[in-house]
Structure 1
Amino acid sequence: MAKIAAEVRRAAVARLEELRADGVLTAGHVRTVAQSTGVSERTVWRWLSPPAARSVRQPRPHYVLSETDREAFAFYRGNIAALHRARHAVVAGDGTTAGAPVPGFLAEGWDRARPVTLRTLQRAFAEELTPAERAAWQSGESGRRAASVYLQRPDALRGRCWEMDHKQIPLLVLPPKGKALCPWMTTVVDDGTRALLGWSVALAPTSGTVFTAMRMAMLHEPDVSPFGAVPERVRIDRGLEFAADAVEAALGTLAVVMHRLPAFTPHRKGKVERLNLTIEQTLISQLPGFTGGPRDAGGKLYGPVKDSVAAKQAAEGQAGGPMRIERFVDRFAAWARWYNTERPHRMLGGRTPLQAWTDDPAPLRRIPADELRHLMLADAERTIRKDGISFNSLSYVAPELQGRGGQVVQIRYMPHDDRQIEVYLAGKHLCTAHPTGQLTAKQTDAFRIHAAAEAKRLGQERRRASRQARRTLAPMTGDGTPPAESRLVPEGDGRTRTQRERDQALAARASTSLLGLTDPTADPES
């Protein structure tokens, strides 16, 4: 700035000297130059005065920071005023500042140093240290990052790369049970178009919330949204939910590369981090229960947040109270539609994410919804009971569960979607179950018809088995003459006549000997 000012001054003085040489210089010329250069008219007249008449102005001495000054800046955490007091105490021979002795390594370094003013030190630190260096000691790593410059990746084609992140929402909501708390949100952002492809809200971050967000981002439903495609790469952080074996297996099955970023590097997935900030600024901060909002003198947020029935009922009807989590999910769904379809984005040239997605002609890789259903769902183990499968305080039933009471099955579900669950037995898909209280008339009729058919089938099987048993026991309950097929040894086997007669006599007494009775007329020797 000083160099530019000197050039401007030199050009202005040269022009005024020309006007003076031509004899047309007036006070109006001087006034115009003074207004344009931001100085007084007296200063401009001084510029035009002969060099001998000008007062020689000594240049301001330039102070160069010493190594001790830099060490003191770090020791006093960027407090230049405290540094100056300690330096002045050492130079004056006192050695104490603010009632405490100056550290020995600073006192030794400042020995025989010349005194300087506080303003000189402030100017020297401002000139010799970068903003990132000053912020690192004044406000820590966050300040250093705010003053740093980062590389920017070129935008990928649509649907090729995702950025995913977990964030605890700074908003108190009322869960179905328990006291008010701040839920967690998982978001999926498209790298090329900044579109919010998928999201999920849950009381705690789990692999199930990750599955829900990924399934929403992959599922293509033309009637609902034009988004939905299988990416080539996913950028994630070190969250344990993203590192779950089930998540890696699902993405690996679709040949999706998981790029796990180093710890504490949020700038390497800056698009999803910026979206989280946009969500907080444009939605969360306007809702009741925002934890960054106004507080009372005791530090508590305005609005009822107590865990009581009266407080929950009051919260539903008061504008300042926390909302229920189901209502927040509905509000966020409406906000997501607005963000994708109506909000212009500066980094997209004023287009919306939907327009950027539509304008990109890159081909997309999609997967059928039936195949995706079995990949992108959270799983749990349950036992089939008389009322079906109990999950999240609901009982799920399906016709295929008839006669399977006591069996252990695997269920897959979406965390905030209780409309249905997928049931698996021994790794194979068994059925889709629905809550008992939410069955349609058609589903109820199908369940009852299947139950009657199953009872009829089992009754027929029992009657068939009973008939087979009677045919098998017939030789033991006959009139004493065994049928031919019951003989253990066929005729013509070389037995003597006496042996055959003895066998026939034993067969004749078989019906009574089995009951513990004997024939008194029979020959005991026979």
Structure 2
Amino acid sequence: MSAVHRELLAEAAAAGDPGSVPSLRTLQRAVRRDLSAGERAGLKGGEAARRRYDVYGKRPPTHRNACWEGDHKRIPVRVALDGAAVCPWVTWFIDVASKVIVGVAVTPHQPARDAVLAALRSGISRSAPYGPFGGLPDRVRVDRGKDFLSGAVARALGGFAVPVHDLPAYKPYRKGTVEALNSAVEQMLLVSLPGYTRRARPAQAYRPDPVEGLLSYPDFVQVLLDWVAWWNTEHHPAGVPDGMTPSEAWEADPTPIEDVPEKQLAFFAMEDDGRIRKITTNGVAWRRRAYIADWMAGNVGTRVRLRYLPHFDGTIEVFTADTPVRHLGSAYLAEAATPAQRRALSKVRESKARALKADLKAAEKLSRTRYTATTTPAAPHPRRSVTEQQAHEEISRARAVDLAARALPDLIPPRDPPPGWARPRPRPDTTAPAVTDPADIAPPEDPTGARPAPGSKE
């Protein structure tokens, strides 16, 4: 308002009528009278500040497993993984009625649809450490994230006739239960962990926490799962009736739970490429790699189909290709690299990336021509002068590069074109002297002035 008042004063002074502008206090009273608190907060802090002054209605209370809400959250805590510090992500689902966390999946990077499917599977199967909570929900409420709306998630939940309600983007209040969980885990747990990235820092250059002082990735996952167990069994969140814990509210609800047989869950969250393979003496081939298992002994020649989790190729599930379909067992990668080999491979890749970056930077520096400053209307001169000999040497080196020697050693040469195709005519070499008929070449003259006789060998 002070800035608006100054502009009005400047405009009135330019028009020659400074007395027409009201005082600053009068302008502020008019703004408070005509604009609501939310509008004033939005002008000052944006849409997020304005939303705090809105009125939201509450959904009517429901029963357990009536609706689940799911979301991703980036954990603002640096943890140690293979000698580097990373910020993991958590994907979880919470029951709206009882506030029970039914499924959790943690990834050391930004999650994909495999994390969503893993969290759903842990909730639906009611397996440890989340059981006995879970079962089959009536519906799942998510935002418009591409991971939640992927085809794999839709097919997995569609197989159990569970609808997915995708809410409008940038409206977190439409799934307030899981958003409240995201805020609670940071305020109750994450702020006390080493490596918390949102801690107030002095005004100096940012220095990442040393890897030695951070939690390892398995330790962090264990701490997070312990907090989930505490939330479900000991905490009293708002919205739970009679001040009960989520587990007490879950047990007090008489709504029956619909369980899914383990045989049907074997197909859940897995994709099938539709091909039929055979078990050979090397195992089962998938993506040009061999997968083996102890149960394959004696089953060489069996026709099978494979199912696998998205973005994970460490293990696969093998099923019979004939009806009725039977689950034969799991198979693992025959030639899996050890952790030490994976770390060494990562170091080699990083060193190559640094070398390429340095080469590109040096090439860009060489290709950029610098000129001297001029004080008169004349053409500028390059700062770096090149002698004639240096120019010839550089051009000769560039021409001497044999591109064929840099090709791959297993490069397959192209086949000859069909005889019916028109081939381009070779261009004559203009740099070499033209070759003429030897009969057209005049004989050399004798120093004495005599000419050779016709038909002589000279």
Q: Sort the TM-score into its range (normalised by shorter chain).
A: 0.5 to 0.7
1:185: which partner in 2? 90
Structure-2 residue corresponding to 1:351: 244
1:94 equivalenced with 2:26 (yes/no):
no
Are residues 224 and 196 of structure 1, via their aligned partners in 2, closer, same or farther at CA, if it must alter by over 3 Å?
closer
How far apart are residue 436 of structure 1 and its match? 8.4
Matched residue, 1:265: 171
Amino acid at match of 1:85: R
Q: Is the 8 A contact 2:79 2:195 kept in 1?
A: yes
- Could you give the per-residue CA deviations for residues 201-238 of structure 1, whole angstroms, max 9, x where no partner exists? 11232111111110111113499622121011111111
Deviation of the 1:394 alpha carbon? 12
| 1:90 partner letter | E
Contact 1:212–1:415 at 8 Å: present in 2 too? no
Structure 1 residues 355 and 435: alpha-carbon distance in aligned structure 2, compared to 1, 3 A threshold: farther
Pair 1:432-2:337 in alignment: no
Shift of 1:426: 4.6
Which residue does the alignment assign to 2:191? Answer: 285
8 Å Cα contact 1:163/1:190 also seen in 2: yes
Q: Which residue of 2 aligns with 1:157?
A: 63
Tell whether the 8 Å contact from 1:293 to 1:301 is kept in structure 2 after alignment.
no
The 1:302–1:244 alpha-carbon spacing in structure 2 relative to 1, beyond 3 Å, is closer
Query: In structure 1, what is the Cα distance between the partners aligned to 2:227 and 2:310?
Result: 21
More helix by share: 1
Letter in 2 for 1:370: K
Residue type of the alignment partner of 2:238: R
1:281 positional shift:
1.2
The 8 Å contact of residues 208 and 378 in structure 1, kept in 2 or not, is answered as no
Q: 1:412 aligns with which of 308, 326, 329?
A: 308
For the 8 Å contact 1:173–1:183, the answer to whether it is kept is yes
Distance 1:379 1:269 in 2: 33
Specify the SS of the correspondent of 2:14. Answer: coil
After superposition, the C-alpha distances for 1:85-121 in whole angstroms (9 at most, x for unaligned) are: 1122233x237xxxxxxxxxxx9xxx88733222222
Partner Cα separation in structure 2 for residue 282 and residue 172 of structure 1? 17
Identity across aligned pairs (percent)? 36
Aligned match of 1:422: 317
Which structure has the greater CA radius of gyration? 1
Kindly provide the amino acid, as one letter, of the partner of residue 62 in structure 2.
Answer: A
Check 1:352–1:361 CA distance in 2 against 1; reply closer, same or farther (3 A cut): same
Q: Structure 1 208/396 Cα, relative in aligned 2: closer, same or farther at 3 Å?
A: farther
Ranges in structure 1 where 5+ consecutive residues have no aligned partner: 1-79, 96-106, 305-314, 438-526
Q: CA 1:386/1:222 → structure 2, altered by over 3 Å: closer, same or farther? A: closer
Letter of the aligned partner of 1:364 in structure 2? I
1:81 and 1:412, CA in 2 relative to 1: closer, same or farther beyond 3 A?
same
The answer to whether the 8 A contact 1:215-1:377 is kept is: no
Structure 2: segments with no counterpart, 5+ residues? 336-458
Q: What is the SS of the residue equivalent to 2:61? A: coil
- The residue correspondences of 1:39-188 to structure 2 (distance < 5 A) are 80-91=1-12, 93-94=13-14, 114-176=20-82, 179-188=84-93
Measure the CA separation in 1 of the matches of 2:295 and 2:190. Answer: 43
Which residue of structure 1 lines up, in the alignment, with residue 422 of structure 2?
none
Match of residue 370, structure 1, among 244, 260, 263: 263
CA distance in 1 between partners of 2:25 and 2:225 (Å): 55
Q: 2: CA distance between counterparts of 1:422 and 1:113? A: 84
Describe the SS at the equivalent of 2:79: coil
Q: Verify: 1:239 aligned to 2:142, yes or no.
A: no
2:294 to 381, 398, 401: 398
Give, in whole Å, the separation in 2 of the partners of 1:114 and 1:275.
Answer: 54
CA RMSD of aligned residues (A): 3.7
Q: Which amino acid aligns with 2:5?
A: H
Counterpart position of 2:427? none
Amino acid at match of 2:247: L
1:147 is paired with a residue whose SS is coil
1:273 CA displacement: 0.8
- Tell me the TM-score normalized by structure 2: 0.62
| Matching residue's letter, 2:106 | V
Distance 2:285 2:224 in 1: 30
Q: How far apart, CA to CA, are the structure 2 residues paired with 1:155 and 1:195?
A: 15
SS at match of 2:329: strand
Change (3 A) 1:303 1:224: closer
Could you tell me how far 1:412 is from its partner in structure 2? 3.0
**Compared with structure 1, are the counterparts of its residues 296 and 356 closer, same or farther at alpha carbon in structure 2 (3 Å cutoff)?**
same
Write the deviation string for residues 343-375 of structure 1: whole angstroms up to 9, x where unpaired: 111221422111111111112211122322321
- Cα distance change, pair 264–408 in 1 and its aligned pair in 2 (3 A): farther
Equivalent AA in structure 2 for residue 197 of structure 1: V
Q: Using structure 1 for the length normalisation, give the TM-score.
A: 0.55
Post-superposition Cα deviations, 1:276-320, rounded to whole Å, max 9, x if no partner, equal: 11111112222122221243544425521xxxxxxxxxx34x3xx
Structure 2 letter corresponding to 1:282: M
Aligned to 1:443: none
The Cα offsets for residues 439-480 of structure 1, whole Å up to 9 and x where unpaired, read as: xxxxxxxxxxxxxxxxxxxxxxxxxxxxxxxxxxxxxxxxxx
Distance 1:152 1:114 in 2: 49
Query: Could you say what secondary structure the match of 1:158 adopts?
Result: coil
Letter in 1 for 2:329: C
Distance 1:295 1:409, change over 3 A: farther
Q: Determine which of 78, 87, 100 is the counterpart of 1:195.
A: 100
Distance 1:281 1:381 in 2: 47
Distance 2:219 2:229 in 1: 16
